Structure 1
C-alpha cells in the first residue's frame, strides 16, 4: 500500500527501529553534515533533527541510506520492480523499449497509475500560503566548509516543455543566494535544461518553475531516475507505488506539484539572467567548481502548517545517494536487457560514483561481442557518460570486486583489449580537458577466442572436482573450521 506522504514513511522507519529522533540542539551549518556523514558510514539509522538552529522545523536526513530502507521506500525490492517494468513493456525488438515507454499513456493495463488532480482544499501543501517568500525560515543546510553557500539538496523541480506541455521532474540542487533567489543547477544534458533553453529560444523571459520539497518516497526517487526524455516521472512514481500520484495546481504558475508535499516553492527562472553557482561538495567526493547557471526567483511559498524539511548530503562514498544509485542499477537492469539481451548482470560500484565504472557480464556469442556491447552502452541515455566500461564473461560475479580485479588482470592484453573514444561526459568529471566533453575507455576482459586472433590455448579456471566439494560440504561442520565467506552479490544487499 502506497505511503500517503513523507511523514508516513518516517513513521514506518520509526516502527522498524530505523529512525533516530535527535532533540539535542544542532546547527544547519556543517554540524548536520558531520553527524549524518558519520551515521551513514557506520550503517546507522535515518535521522530526524527536531531542534535545528533553534527553530521549529525538523530536518530529516539519511532516509534512504541503507539497502533495507531503500527497499521499504520503494515497497518492493528494486530487482522485482525492474522485472515488472520489463514484463509490462514486453518489447518485441531492442528499439521497442524506448518507443513503448514514451507511449505509456496507450498502455491500458496501467491506466490507474497516471497522476490525478485534486482540489486545493484537499492538498496538505496548501495549508499555508506565503506571498512574500523568505527562504531563511527553513533550516537549509550549509553542507561542506568550501561550499558557496546553503543548498537545497533534495528538491523536486517541475517544469513543462514550452512547446508540447510535457512535464518533467528532476532533482537539481538549489544554491540559495537571498531570501527569494537561488541558483538552478541545470546541466546541459538534463531535461530541465532542455526546457529552459527552448524557452529562451522562444523569447520567454520568465520561465515557470515549481519546486516541491518532501513527498512520498516513490515520488522523491522518481525525480532521480534516468528515464528516457519526455517520460513523466509522476507516471513512473505511480507505477512504483501502484497508485496515482495526486497533483495540485500551483498558486502563481501554471504547473502542478504533488499535493502531499511538505513545502512548495513557486516562481520562475529568468532566461536572461545567469549567476555563479557553487562551489559545492559533490557526490564525486570533490567540490564541483563554480560556474554560471540560471537564477530561480521564488514568488510564492506554500507548505504544511508543521512542515518537515528533508535533505541529503553527498560527498565521499558511501553516502545516502549511493543506495539510491544501487536501486537504480537494479531497477533498470531488466529494462537495459530489453535493449541488450546478451547482458547477464551489471555492477555500478559505489566507489565509481555512478558514472566512473560499469562492470558488465555478458553471454558472449561471437567475436568482438564485448566491444559491441561497450559501443552500445555508450549510446544509451545516462550510460553514455560512463567513463570506464569493463566487460566480463557470464560466469563472472561482477559484484565481487576481488573477482573483477582478478579477471581483469588475467584476461586483458592492454594493446588488444582496450578501446578509447571521445564524447559527452558527466558534467562533474573534473578530469575532462573540456567541460562536458572528454574521453572514455572500454575494456574487453572476456576470454579471447581464436576468431578474435588469439592463437594460443586459453587456460581453464582452477576448479575443484564437484564430488570432492560435495563430500567436504558434508563433513565441514565436524572439522571445526570457520565457514567460508560468501561472495557478495545483489542477494546480499538486504532488498
Structure 2
C-alpha cells in the first residue's frame, strides 16, 4: 500500500485506534521522550503519539512504528510474513529455469511489474518544496532532546541521501544528527556504513559532499533507510517494492541530489571533508546505553523546504523494548528469505530477540543434514552484511520454536556439551558495542545446540534452600533470582555489590565452586542491585556487557559436570582496568519524571503509567553519560 503523505498514514493509524493526539503544550526537551518511553514499553507497544503543540509550527509524531499492528500498517500488509512470501515468489521467478518460449512469456508480466518499482524523476517542484527557507534555521524545527545526558538535541529519524562521487550510486541511510547551531549538525555515520564510505571518497577527491536529509512521507521510505540492503541496491527500489508503487523524486534546490517529492521536510547542504570533525554525542542509544561522544563529520545546511502542513517524525530509543524493536522485527522477517535463497537454504528460521538490540543475540534453526553444518551456518551469517556485527549466535534443530525462550533454554542445558559445542571467534562489532576491549572489534560466541533433545528430567533443586545458601556465601550478594529453576532451567542469576569485592577473580572462583550451586549448570553474575526480577531486562543487560571470550567461562565441577559462568557485570570498576570508557544506562531524570507525573491527566492518554526509568535510576553511576567510580 502506498501512502500519499505522513498525514495519510496518521489518518490510517487513527482509524485503526492506533494513535493518540495530545493537544496541550509538551516540551521537545525531555518531556516528549518521557511520555513516549512510558507508552512504548506498554504491552504490545502502546499507541503512536501525535504532539500537536510543541512550541513550534510543527506537530511531532512518535512511536509510529512501535507495535506489530503499526509496522504492518506502515508496510501495507496484514502480517509481516506476507512480505516474506512476496520476496520468496520474486526469488523463485528470477531463479527458475526458463526452458521454453512459453516459460519466458509467462514470466513477462511479473518482470514488467518489477519495472514499476524503479524510482523516477519528476520535473518541477514537489509537495516537499511548498515552503522554502533560503535562510535556514534548524531552531524552527521541534528537534528532541531525548535523555538527560544527551549532548544536545538530535534528529532521530533522518533519511540521509548521498551519492558516490564517481559512480553516482545513491544511498539512503539513517544516521542521527546532533544540532550544533541553526545551520550545522553532526553527521553520525559509522565507519561501516555506506554514507561514511561515500564521505571517504569525497575526502580522497577533495570535493564538497552534497547531502540531503528528508523527514516523513510514506513510512516505507523511513523503513527502507534502516534496512540492510546491499550497497548496489537503491533503497527506493525496496520502498517501491514494499508499497507496490514507484517513488517519485524531485531535484533539490541547492544540491545535486534527488529526494521523494512527497516527504514532509528536506534539509539540504553539504559536508566539507577539509573541515575539522566535530565532537558529537553522547546520545541515549537503542542499545539501552549511552553511545559516548566522539569525532564525526560536520553537516552545513544550505536550505530547508517542507510541506505547508508538515509533521515532524521522531523516534525515542533506549532500554528495550521500544519502537526500534518492531522495525528490527520487520527486518528479521523480510530479510530472512533473501538469506535463505542466496546463501543458506538450510536456514529454517531466524529470530533476533529485542533484548539483543539487533546485533547482540541471534537465534537460528536449521535442517541439520551433515556433520559441521551448524558451523557452516555460523560462518555464512557472520560474513553476511550487517550480521557481521552479531555477538552471540545459537543454532537449534528444526523441531524447536525460536519464540519459546524457556523451551530453548531447557534444550541448551539438556544437550550442549560446553567442551565440544561452544566456539569462540573474533570479528567486527557494531560501533556502539561498549563491552569489548577494542573499539568495533571483539570476540563472538557460537553455541551449537542442534542435537536432538535427550529425555528431560525435572531438576532436583530446592529453590528456597538454594537462595538461603547463596546468601550465606558472601555479604556482597545483593539478591538472587532462581526463577528459572522452577522452569527446569538450571540457571541462577546473582546480583553482586562488585564495588565492595576486593578480588573479583577470586570471588567468582569461590562462588562458582560452592556446594550451594549443586545442580546448577549456569551462573549469571550481574551488578544490578535488586533489579533482577525481570528476566528480559537481565538478558538485555548481560548481552550488552559481555565480551564472550573474556566473560564466558566453563568450569569442570567434578566428573563430567560442567558449569557455565557468565560475567555480565560492568567492567568499569578500577580493579577491572578496562581500557575504554564505559557508558551509563539510559534513564530519565527525576525532575522530568515528576513533571510528567503531574501533567499526566492533561495529556489525555488514559490510565496512569509509571516511568520505566524508576527501576534504572539506581543503576546510574556518576552524573554524566560515562560510568565514574570515585
Distance across 1 between alignment mates of 2:289 and 2:124? 42
Distance across 2 between alignment mates of 1:402 and 1:459? 16
Aligned to 1:46: 48
Aligned to 2:3: 3
Q: What whole-Å deviation, never above 9, does each CA across 1:229-253 have from its counterpart, x for those lacking one?
A: 1210001000000000111100010
Q: Does the alignment pair 1:358 with 2:362? A: yes
Aligned to 1:348: 352
Give the secondary-structure state (helix, strand or coil) at the position aligned to 1:397: coil
Distance across 1 between alignment mates of 2:352 and 2:221? 23
Q: What whole-Å deviation, never above 9, does each CA across 1:276-322 have from its counterpart, x for those lacking one?
A: 11000000000001111100000111111221111001000010000
Aligned to 1:226: 228
- Kindly state the Cα deviation for residue 107 of structure 1 after the two structures are TM-superposed: 5.3
Aligned to 1:427: 431
Structure 2 unmatched runs, 5+: 97-109, 458-630
User: Are the equivalent residues in 2 in contact too, given 1:120–1:126 (CA < 8 A)?
Assistant: no
User: Are the equivalent residues in 1 in contact too, given 2:414–2:454 (CA < 8 A)?
Assistant: no
Structure number with greater CO (CA < 8 Å, separation at least 6) is: 1
Q: Does the alignment pair 1:83 with 2:78? A: no
Deviates more, 1:424-433 or 1:406-415: 406-415
Q: What whole-Å deviation, never above 9, does each CA across 1:97-128 have from its counterpart, x for those lacking one?
A: xxxxxxxxx9544001111122334x111111
User: Are the equivalent residues in 1 in contact too, given 2:74–2:220 (CA < 8 A)?
Assistant: yes
Give the secondary-structure state (helix, strand or coil) at the position aligned to 1:211: strand
Q: Does the alignment pair 1:202 with 2:202? A: no
Aligned to 2:454: 459
Structure 1 counterpart of 2:445, from 441, 447, 451: 441
User: Are the equivalent residues in 2 in contact too, given 1:78–1:328 (CA < 8 A)?
Assistant: no
Aligned to 2:622: none
Name the TM-score, length of structure 1 as normaliser.
0.86
Aligned to 1:383: 387
Aligned to 2:36: 36
- Kindly state the Cα deviation for residue 144 of structure 1 after the two structures are TM-superposed: 0.2
Distance across 2 between alignment mates of 1:161 and 1:109? 28
Distance across 2 between alignment mates of 1:107 and 1:171? 30
Distance across 1 between alignment mates of 2:170 and 2:52? 35
User: Are the equivalent residues in 2 in contact too, given 1:318–1:350 (CA < 8 A)?
Assistant: yes
Instruction: Write out aligned runs for 1:252-401 (5 A).
Output: 252-273=254-275, 274-338=277-341, 339-401=343-405
Structure 1 counterpart of 2:142, from 136, 139, 144: 139
Give the secondary-structure state (helix, strand or coil) at the position aligned to 2:3: coil
User: Are the equivalent residues in 2 in contact too, given 1:151–1:174 (CA < 8 A)?
Assistant: yes
Deviates more, 1:76-85 or 1:410-419: 76-85
Aligned to 2:57: 56
Q: Indicate how the Cα distance of structure 1 residues 461 and 337 shifts in structure 2: closer, same or farther if over 3 A, else same.
A: farther
The alignment yields a C-alpha RMSD, in angstroms, of 1.5
Give the secondary-structure state (helix, strand or coil) at the position aligned to 2:152: coil
- Kindly state the Cα deviation for residue 364 of structure 1 after the two structures are TM-superposed: 0.2
Aligned to 1:215: 217
Structure 1 counterpart of 2:165, from 157, 162, 175: 162
Q: What whole-Å deviation, never above 9, does each CA across 1:390-415 have from its counterpart, x for those lacking one?
A: 00000011111111111112121112
Name the TM-score, length of structure 2 as normaliser.
0.68
Instruction: Write out aligned runs for 1:164-179 (5 A).
Output: 164-179=167-182
Q: Does the alignment pair 1:114 with 2:118? A: yes
Aligned to 1:414: 418
Distance across 2 between alignment mates of 1:207 and 1:8? 33
Give the secondary-structure state (helix, strand or coil) at the position aligned to 1:257: strand
Q: What whole-Å deviation, never above 9, does each CA across 1:197-242 have from its counterpart, x for those lacking one?
A: 11111221x2000000111011110000001112100010000000
- Kindly state the Cα deviation for residue 17 of structure 1 after the two structures are TM-superposed: 1.4
User: Are the equivalent residues in 1 in contact too, given 2:206–2:274 (CA < 8 A)?
Assistant: no
Structure 1 unmatched runs, 5+: 94-105, 449-457, 463-495
Distance across 2 between alignment mates of 1:459 and 1:352? 28
Q: What whole-Å deviation, never above 9, does each CA across 1:167-210 have from its counterpart, x for those lacking one?
A: 10011100110000000011011011111111111221x20000
Give the secondary-structure state (helix, strand or coil) at the position aligned to 1:2: coil
Distance across 2 between alignment mates of 1:178 and 1:355? 33
User: Are the equivalent residues in 2 in contact too, given 1:61–1:312 (CA < 8 A)?
Assistant: yes
User: Are the equivalent residues in 2 in contact too, given 1:423–1:439 (CA < 8 A)?
Assistant: yes
- Kindly state the Cα deviation for residue 442 of structure 1 after the two structures are TM-superposed: 0.8
- Kindly state the Cα deviation for residue 461 of structure 1 after the two structures are TM-superposed: 6.2
User: Are the equivalent residues in 2 in contact too, given 1:50–1:56 (CA < 8 A)?
Assistant: no
Give the secondary-structure state (helix, strand or coil) at the position aligned to 2:165: coil
Deviates more, 1:318-327 or 1:367-376: 367-376
Distance across 1 between alignment mates of 2:409 and 2:124? 56
Distance across 1 between alignment mates of 2:300 and 2:88? 40
Aligned to 1:486: none
User: Are the equivalent residues in 1 in contact too, given 2:158–2:213 (CA < 8 A)?
Assistant: yes
